Structures are given as C-alpha cells and as structure tokens.
Amino acid sequence: MIFLELAEIVLREEKRPMTANEIWTLATEKGYGKQLNSVGKTPWATLGAQLYVNAKDSPTSLFGQTDSRPKRFYLKSQASQLDLSDTAILKEPTAPKKKRIDFLERDLHPYLTYYAWANESYLVAAEVSDEEEFRSELARLSTSFGIGVIKLDLNNPHSSEIIFPAKYREALDWETINKLTMNNDFKEFISTVKIDITSRKIHKKEYDQVQNIETLKRKMSNQSE
C-alpha cells in the first residue's frame, strides 16, 4: 500500500474532511500504517506532502483540499455529501502563499539547478521543517529538478532519513558536464573516472575518503561549535 491509497481508505470510511495528521493517526489506530510499503520517521509529513501535491497538481486526483489552515483533505466523490461551508475549497493560490512559494524556490534554485545535471543528487540538511505547506512545495521542487532530500541525523548518521528520493537518470547531461570541466578540479575528476572505467580498476586514493561514523560525528560536532 502507498500513502495515497491509505488516505483514500481512511477518508472513504470517515466521510469528512481531515488533516494529514488526523488521517495518519486514524490509519495507525486501524493498523493501516503497517501495510505501507515504506515508512520514514515523519510519515504524517510525507502523507501531507503527497496529498497536497496530488490534490493541487493532478487533474485526475481523487482528492480535494480546503483553504483552511491546517488544510483538510476529502474525496471528490464524496464532496456533495460533506459540509464544506466553513472551509472554501481551494481553487487558486492566495497572494501570500504565492509569495512564500516564490521565496522558497528562489532560495533553493541555485542549488537545484547546479546539481540537476547529476545522477541521484541529494540536498542534505540536519533540520527540515515538518510544516505541511513547506513539505509540499519541497516535494514539488524535488520532483521538478530530480534532486532528492535527506534529513541528516547528527547523533546517529545511520538513522538519517531520505525524505524525497533523487531521480535516477538513464543518460547523463553531457553538455552540462562538458561546461563544468572548465573547472580544473572537476576536469581532473572526470579524467580519473575515465581511467578507472578503461582500466576496470578503481584508484581509491584519487577520490575522497569514505569516513567512518565516529569521524563524521566529530567533524559535525566541531562545525556546530
């Protein structure tokens, strides 16, 4: 089962608009959460982001959403049976929200465009807001640029969470790669990779060392002081 299927089941049974947190809480009580294919550390935030993006961007979405804060979701097929009088159905983004979205995209755009050429690139942050609207827009940008997002656990890096997976690219953007070779370090890196592929032997000394967890924790601790 995936998150959207879980939401559909709960909303169909409850027959009322619900927030992502309410849907997740009820799904957990009924045991539906155990049927999910994968669950991260903040499944309610993942559920909210997926519902928001699906209801907002998909013309064939099963879900509608209200303009209340927090947003509530419902099944379009049940709309005529629901009391939506207190929360107008969202049709167009309000000006303040558009401004906020533009701000988020403007701040992330340099990082997203710089790494969008690469295969399975990730943005890594120790703190990622669980706020529903923020997660939803982050999900949209991640999908648009193919960049994944990882929430880093500073105390236990092995417990870090992939919030949004990066896109796997069948073909690399060689036009961008060629431009990046204007940087001598990157040019040397590409040359090393080519040698390794040709010789079928990896020269580990030519690459950054893969450090153990304790070393990483010490480095992160020193940087935060």
Measure CA of the first residue to CA of the last residue in the chain; give whole Å. 43
| 58 exposure class (CB count in 10 Å sphere: 0-12, 13-18, 19+) | exposed
* pLDDT score at 63: 93
Q: How far apart are CA 160 and CA 125, in angstroms?
A: 10
pTM of the predicted structure, to 2 decimals: 0.52
Fold topology of 3-81: Arc Repressor Mutant, subunit A (1.10.10)
What stretches of 51-189 adopt beta strand conformation (E)? 63-65, 73-75, 122-125, 148-151, 161-164
Q: How far apart are CA 36 and CA 23, in angstroms?
A: 14
DSSP at 183: S
* pLDDT score at 92: 39
* pLDDT score at 99: 46
Are 169 and 115 in contact by the 8 Å Cβ rule? The answer is no
* pLDDT score at 225: 57
Q: How far apart are CA 176 and CA 117, in angstroms?
A: 7
Domain regions of the chain by residue span: 3-81, 95-164, 181-224
pLDDT digit of tens for each residue in the chain (225 aa)? 888 999 999 999 999 898 888 898 899 888 888 888 766 667 877 888 888 888 888 889 999 988 777 788 999 998 888 876 654 444 434 444 444 445 555 666 666 666 767 778 888 888 888 777 788 788 888 888 888 889 888 777 777 888 888 888 788 788 888 888 899 998 999 999 999 999 999 988 888 888 787 887 777 777 655
CA angle 178, 184, 186 (to 5 degrees): 55
Q: How far apart are CA 131 and CA 49, in angstroms?
A: 9
What stretches of the chain adopt beta strand conformation (E)? 63-65, 73-75, 122-125, 148-151, 161-164
